[in-house]
Chains A and B, each alone.
Chain A
């Protein structure tokens, strides 16, 4: 190119250079985080195992790190949120209480699991106690706690709940959960409250045999009290409803229809029989129907041989004495028991929702959400997740508690509810950055 051309085209080339630099589009200003009318400077989380980050039948470091309160706190930090301390197990004791890990599958495709027993944080076996955590705690999630337990003195003692014991200061060893929440709420500006699951869960997971459902009046009273104490100082927050547990893999994985097909393949005369609670508490044996829910632990029992019975567990030819080897009652949630569970869930959720509305709080309707997940799954950034055991990504190996992916999805739903209620723009996370069930390496 000669100089004449160069001179002629220099302005064009300069324009071009400008064009290229200005070319990169920028969308960040469109999505600036914003706290709206909420104040995230001190966030505390009140709740049970779900709040603690319990997963795979145990509480361990990875689950704690991926708890929904920790995800929320991390996201709140983009909108003025402060420090958030969890009672984490140390790296050396990272396996905490121990938990289930997937070891493989049987030739029939049934998953096999084993307990992780190394690097535990167990400091006493009888009673079971865990390494204490001294220091500020913002995640007050206590696995196993029922709403009905919040006023129980000594719940944080060595004779009480081991998870509450490890975070209860020695100087106030008899402090109730309510008193602890009250003390922390004094300086909190934002809270989440998700209690009440265990007021039904114990009854449901034992097939209506062990555990009782908390009375609705008791539930309502204690729910009102804890929300009152959380909002006394003007803190804003979010509460969550209780999901209908009959949608979770603990009750949907082992199906009567599948067991029946298995028995009939072996011998067409066989069918599935269960033990259940009849009128006036009498134990009756009857033919199982597809409406009966079998619990996840029943899979280890059904089909096994029993000394003195010609039938494997669950199989039979009739209801008469000696005609069957019924599935024991504690593995079966029958129609009546399911109704009890649903009635209580609805009543408790009414109490939770009414109180939240009275206080103008955000609500994460986890019952509606998990019902939707059970029906149609949830796709996260192109990845399909369902309520199925193991393959669904959302539920951990205990069939009740979420995986890190499940907790991330919950955190996102809560963020949406918070954003909507407080006119905030807290960013959500990419749930696909959080794992589903861990497979054997």
Chain B
């Protein structure tokens, strides 16, 4: 597979399934990191440092270009409360992409670069006629961030960096069925997000050859959809006067994340990383849609989310087996931001446990990175009583279980 065909494949769908980090956040930004449980804040592995910790970019030895693509294969099972019938997704996949190019003088203290990655996304297509059809039948969230980055090594041990994060592309497509007294209609909400800006900044400290530390902050960006399209279908004439909206506005918070990371290099061959992140999901209180005309008696639809801030812990390492071959392994524990009684079909979430493996082979300046992740989203049951107690009966009671497998491949070229 050459670079060109890889780009073509990746360009087909710039999106990601919620692979890691809870909610609809995706952390598949670097192929080496992907093989190591997603660690990276306290390391300076490669150009993907622009995402994990821009402060570490100045400490990355090589300048170069790298591209990575992942294939997310999510498999879900759902059984409604009281039922014995298992529902499975109409299986789909997404291919989150990442691209980095880093430049700078060979021996200088400056590094600059550009990063393209997809930190948020989700795609789920539920079974036809499933019990939660009036909450959701299909969701496809996509986001592409572009991040010009600079990094500067203040001393040999300390470097800082920052990037301007541009929400260059954001798209939302939500579909659900509408319950009518004697039939179902369908509504599709489809919109593009406005271009928005945020930042990604970090500090990297490497007191010795054996130890490095990092801290990183990625700011919140509100994905604002204005004048998205509302399309109704299957609404009989007797009800059509109640479903007149054609446009909608909505805002989805792409939340801030603060991370600290630790790198330990006991010898030249072995690198171990540990990251802890706090995702500020508590900003996600409600999902609100404003319509230009009424939808079943109201121009507003509000659905409670009440997410909570969530922690993620990652541990991973790599070992350089031969001059060319490096192998990796890691794992992560990822707390869910979703409280009991608030689970929705768009993110059938729970705590996640993932295991990863990876390997790289380098042929001088050119290298290939492979990674594979297995994410187990723990079984989650919410009862109708929990929904009633939280006034969240717009969603469905039952048990969800989701597993995700994500193979990925990356190519890199060092100048």
A residues sitting closer than 8 Å to B (CB atoms) are 1, 5, 8-9, 12, 15-16, 19-20, 22-28, 30-33, 78, 379, 381-384, 390-391, 393, 412, 415-416, 425, 427-430, 432, 435-441
Once bound together, how far apart are the Cα atoms of A440 and B182, in whole Å?
10
Contact A20 B405 (CB under 8 A): yes
> Of B1, B73, B387, which is within 8 A of A23 by CB?
B73
A436 and B182 contact, CB distance less than 8 A: yes
A25 to B377 CA separation, bound complex (whole angstroms)? 10
Chain A neighbourhood of B79, CB < 8 A? 27-28, 30-31
Q: How far is the CA of A382 from the CA of B395 in the complex (A)?
A: 5
Question: Nearest CB to that of A4 among chain B residues?
Answer: B361
Smallest Cβ-Cβ distance to B322: which chain A residue: A8
The contact of A8 among B84, B238, B325, by CB within 8 Å, is B325
Which of A31, A33, A383, A440 is close to B179, meaning CB atoms less than 8 Å apart? A383
Q: Are A12 and B370 in contact (CB under 8 A)?
A: yes
User: B131 in the interface, Cβ–Cβ < 8 Å?
Assistant: yes
Number of interface residues of B (CB under 8 A): 52
Output the nearest chain B residue to A425 by Cβ-Cβ distance.
Answer: B84
Question: Which residues does B use to contact A, with CB under 8 Å?
Answer: 1, 73, 75-86, 88, 131-135, 179-183, 236, 238-239, 325, 357, 359, 361, 368, 370, 372, 374, 379, 384, 387-388, 393-397, 399, 401-405, 407
Most chain B CB atoms below 10 A, which of A23, A78, A382 = A382
Query: Given that A8-B325, A19-B374, A382-B393 are known contacts, is A416 also in contact with B402, CB under 8 Å in the complex?
Result: no
Tell me the complex Cα distance, A241–B88, Å: 39
Q: How many A-B residue pairs have CB under 8 A?
A: 123
Which 7 residue pairs of A and B lie closest in terms of their CB atoms, listed nearest first?
A: A428-B82, A436-B181, A25-B401, A379-B393, A427-B84, A24-B75, A383-B179
Please give the distance in Å from B293's CB to the nearest CB on chain A.
20
Chain B residues in 8 Å Cβ range of A441: 236
Contact of B134 among A23, A25, A432 (CB under 8 A): A432
Q: In the complex, what distance in Å separates the CA atom of A429 from the CA atom of B131? A: 10
Q: A24-B75, A27-B401 are in contact. Are A382 and B135 (CB under 8 A)?
A: yes
Contacts of A412 in B (CB 8 A): 82
The distance in angstroms between the C-alpha atoms of A435 and B181, with both chains bound, is 6
CB B376 to nearest CB in A, in angstroms, measures 9
User: In the complex, A415 Cα to B82 Cα: how many Å?
Assistant: 9
Establish whether residues B84 and A5, one from each chain, have CB atoms under 8 Å apart when the complex forms: no
Q: Is the CB of B379 within 8 A of A437?
A: no
Is A382 a contact of B77 with CB atoms below 8 Å? no
Between-chain CB contacts (< 8 Å), 29 pairs: A5-B361, A9-B359, A12-B357, A15-B372, A16-B407, A23-B374, A25-B76, A25-B77, A25-B379, A25-B401, A26-B77, A27-B79, A28-B84, A30-B79, A30-B399, A31-B79, A33-B84, A379-B384, A381-B80, A381-B132, A382-B135, A382-B179, A391-B181, A427-B85, A430-B83, A432-B179, A435-B183, A436-B181, A439-B238
